[in-house]
């Protein structure tokens, strides 16, 4: 490991954007890329000037790679992450961490046994405004929390689901539909802000696409704190403009649904700003989280244990909706 930490990017679909983020992160560099698509590899080499592989095992032999960034279909994250950790590499995996808590636990254990760091790329966790809201909730600025609502109302075409071999919207590789893929970000926000939960009631269905999983999912739950939780996730909403979290407290409310990188707040006295200071000293993205965790030998902000929480809640939602057994059989565990 030199002055900068080398990242090997596995998967250059969405991974091409993450490679750019790595290149823009202080203390990090793109050390290698791996993809089956030759055109993608060639483009990455032009941009980053790094070695390119079509064989993951070969990239793992590259001494210049300190961290593997897994950007493959959801149901392969733990598999590739465990391979990377066993090869002595730290691991960053895109959301979700994998499809089941059992697979998440295997990846966590493998990384721990190898003495490697594990980061789960839930990018909203790094937004300062959301961190500010969490602190404000913990310090009671919003009062007793009445409702935490997670909303993802997006639009996806049938072609979207058929693209790249049709892995999206399948149980085996996507782990579900609109809840597991698109809404997992807001489910993670809800689990992070709301804390421990219980008593899940849910309904899922397929209404606007030809896929085996849901394009509309709804859930209600109770938090151990006494607050209520509500989740709505769909890919049938052609306005395509509802994404984020809303919190109702008896002293004030907050929402980032209209702009998930920002936060609107309102108090009964007319105040529209939180008094809780906005945090400054925290990683701004997953690559920076990993760089800091390695340099300072500390637990990442969004560790495997944190990334697991959204999957635990997702599993509970599917169980409550009556499709848990179908999902387990298709996934194979």
pLDDT in tens, 123-158: 999 999 999 999 999 999 999 999 999 999 999 999
What local confidence, expressed as pLDDT, does residue 1 receive?
62
Count of Cβ atoms closer than 10 Å to residue 115 Cβ: 9
What local confidence, expressed as pLDDT, does residue 286 receive?
98
Cα–Cα distance list, 244 to 227, 231, 258, 283, 314 (Å): 18, 10, 7, 20, 17
What local confidence, expressed as pLDDT, does residue 31 receive?
98
**pTM assigned to the model:** 0.94
Count of Cβ atoms closer than 10 Å to residue 82 Cβ: 18
User: Taking the alpha carbons of 172, 177, 181, 184 in that order, is the dihedral positive or negative?
Assistant: negative
Helix (H) or strand (E) holding 57: helix 56-60
Report the alpha-carbon distance of residue 279 to residue 188 in Å, rounded.
Answer: 20
pLDDT per residue as tens digits for the range 85-106 = 999 999 999 999 999 999 999 9
User: Cis bond leading into 96, ω under 30°?
Assistant: yes
* Sequence-distant (≥ 6) Cβ neighbours of residue 26 within 8 angstroms: 288, 291
Instruction: Give per-residue burial for 278-310: e unless 16+ CB within 10 Å, then b.
Output: eeeeebebbbbbbbbbbeeeeebbbbbebbbbb
Under-50 pLDDT residues of the chain: none
What local confidence, expressed as pLDDT, does residue 333 receive?
58
Task: Copy the structure tokens of residue 59.
Answer: 């990239």
What's domain 5-123+284-303's architecture? 3-Layer(aba) Sandwich (3.40)
Task: Copy the structure tokens of residue 239.
Answer: 């306005």
Domain ranges for the chain: 5-123+284-303, 125-279+312-331
Question: Domain 125-279+312-331 sits in which CATH superfamily?
Answer: Dihydrodipicolinate Reductase; domain 2 (3.30.360.10)
Closest CA to 216 of 178, 161, 171, 168: 178
Lookup result for tokens 């929480």? 309
């Amino acid at each position: 490991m030199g002055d900068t930490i080398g990242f090997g990017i596995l998967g250059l679909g969405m991974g091409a954007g993450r490679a750019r983020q790595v290149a823009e992160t202080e203390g990090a560099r793109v050390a290698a890329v791996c993809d089956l698509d030759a055109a993608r590899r060639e483009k990455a080499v032009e941009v980053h000037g790094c070695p390119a592989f079509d064989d993951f095992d070969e990239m793992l032999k590259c001494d210049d790679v300190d961290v593997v960034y897994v950007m493959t279909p959801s149901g392969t994250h733990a598999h590739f992450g465990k391979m990377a950790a066993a090869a002595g590499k730290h691991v960053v995996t895109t959301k979700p961490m994998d499809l089941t808590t059992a697979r998440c636990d295997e990846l966590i254990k493998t990384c721990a046994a190898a003495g490697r760091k594990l980061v789960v790329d839930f990018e909203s966790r790094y937004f300062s405004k959301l961190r500010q809201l969490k602190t404000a909730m913990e310090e009671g600025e919003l009062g007793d929390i009445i409702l935490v609502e997670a909303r993802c109302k997006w639009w996806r075409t049938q072609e979207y689901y058929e693209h790249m071999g049709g892995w999206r919207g399948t149980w085996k590789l996507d782990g579900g539909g609109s809840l597991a893929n698109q809404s997992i970000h807001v489910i993670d926000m809800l689990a992070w802000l709301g804390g421990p939960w219980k008593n899940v009631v849910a309904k899922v269905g397929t209404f606007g696409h030809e896929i085996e999983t849901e394009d509309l999912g709804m859930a209600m739950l109770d938090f151990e704190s006494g607050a209520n939780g509500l989740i709505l996730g769909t890919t049938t909403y052609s306005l395509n403009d509802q994404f984020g979290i809303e919190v109702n407290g008896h002293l004030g409310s907050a929402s980032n649904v209209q702009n998930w990188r920002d936060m609107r707040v309102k108090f009964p006295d007319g105040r529209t700003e939180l008094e809780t200071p906005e945090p400054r000293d925290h990683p701004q993205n997953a690559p920076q989280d990993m760089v800091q965790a390695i340099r300072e030998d500390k637990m990442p902000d969004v560790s495997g244990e944190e990334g697991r929480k959204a999957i635990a809640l997702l599993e509970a939602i599917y169980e409550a909706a009556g499709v848990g057994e179908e999902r387990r059989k298709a996934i194979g565990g």
